[in-house]
Amino acid sequence: MKANQQGFTLVEIAIVLVIIGLLLGGVLKGQELINSAKAKSLVNDFRTMSTAVYAYQDRFRFMPGDDPAVVQHVAGTLATTPGSPETQGNGRIGGNWNSTTATDESRLVWQHLRLANLLTGPTVESDPAYLPRNADNGTIGITSTSPITPATGSGPDSRPMTGAFFICSSGITARLARQVDSTMDDGVTNTGNVRAMIDVNGTPSATSTASNIDAAAETAADRYTVCVAF
C-alpha cells in the first residue's frame, strides 16, 4: 500500500518566493548602503585632508612637508631628500604621492599635519600605520607633482590636471571611483579635476594616464587610484 505524498500548494510556494525575494532585496539594499557609505567616506577624506593642508599653510605660511621652519613651528622633521626637484619653502610639496622615502616632502606631510593637530595619526614615519588608509583599505598621499599623465591628442583628457597640490587615494573599486567623480567633479574619470588611474597588478603607480571607467568596468576586479586637484 502506497503512502500518500502531499506536495506544496501554490499559496505556500508563492509565500516562499516572496520571502526569498525580500531576503535578496535586503541583501542588495544593504550592499548599496555600504557602497554609498564608502563613497561618502572617500569624498570626506579628500575634503578633510585638503582643509588640513590649507589650514597649515594659513597658520605657518608654508605648505606641510615643504616647511623650512618645521622644527620651530611644530618640532617636526625637515625634508632633506638630496637632489629633490622641489626646494624647501617654494610652496610645493615635492616627491611622489606614494613615496616611500622618509625624507621626501610628500612623505613628511603627514607628520607635519599631525604635529600641528590638524589630523590624527602616528607622527613617526616608520610606524606601520603612518600612511592614512581609505574606506577600501588603500593608501592616501599628497604631492604637488601631477600624478596623472595627460593623454595624447586634443580631447579633454589631454588637458593636464592643474592645482597647488593633489591628493590621491588608491585601491578603489571602479564603482566607487565613478561615484567619487560624480560627487566631486564631472562624472568622467579621465577628465576634469578628479581622475582615476588603474592600479597595475593591484599596485598603485606614481604617475599614469587616466582611465575612462564606464559601467561595464564595474564588474571587473580592477582597482584604481583616484586623484583630486586642489
User: How does pLDDT run across 135-152, given as a tens digit for each residue?
Assistant: 999 999 999 999 998 888
The Cα 30–Cα 124 span in angstroms is 38
User: Apex CA 113: angle with CA 88 and CA 162, to 5°?
Assistant: 60
Question: Is it the case that residue 20 has pLDDT exceeding 80?
Answer: no
- Can you give the length of the chain in residues? 230
Give one word for 201, left, alpha or beta, with left for phi > 0 and alpha for psi -120 to 50: left
Q: Residues 195, 200, 201, 203: is their CA dihedral positive or negative? A: negative
Q: What is the mean predicted confidence (pLDDT) over 55-70? A: 97
C-alpha grid cell for residue 154? 586634443
The sheet carrying 223-229 orders its strands as 140-143, 166-173, 223-229, 194-198
Helix (H) / strand (E) element for 223: namely: strand 223-229
Interval 150-205: pLDDT, tens: 888 888 889 999 999 999 999 999 999 999 999 999 999 999 999 999 998 778 88
Instruction: Tell me which amino acid residue 35 is.
Output: N
The Cα 46–Cα 140 span in angstroms is 9
C-alpha grid cell for residue 11? 499559496
Burial class of residue 10, CB neighbours in 10 A (0-12, 13-18, 19+): exposed
Whether the Cβ atoms of residue 121 and residue 100 lie closer than 8 Å to each other: no
**pLDDT class of 99 with cuts at 50, 70, 90:** very high
The Cα 123–Cα 203 span in angstroms is 25
The Cα 93–Cα 192 span in angstroms is 21
pTM over 0.75: yes
- What structural domains does the chain harbor? 35-229 (3.30.1690)
Burial class of residue 152, CB neighbours in 10 A (0-12, 13-18, 19+): exposed
Interval 25-34: pLDDT, tens: 666 555 666 6
The Cα 36–Cα 152 span in angstroms is 34
Return the residue matching grid coordinates 564588474.
Answer: 219
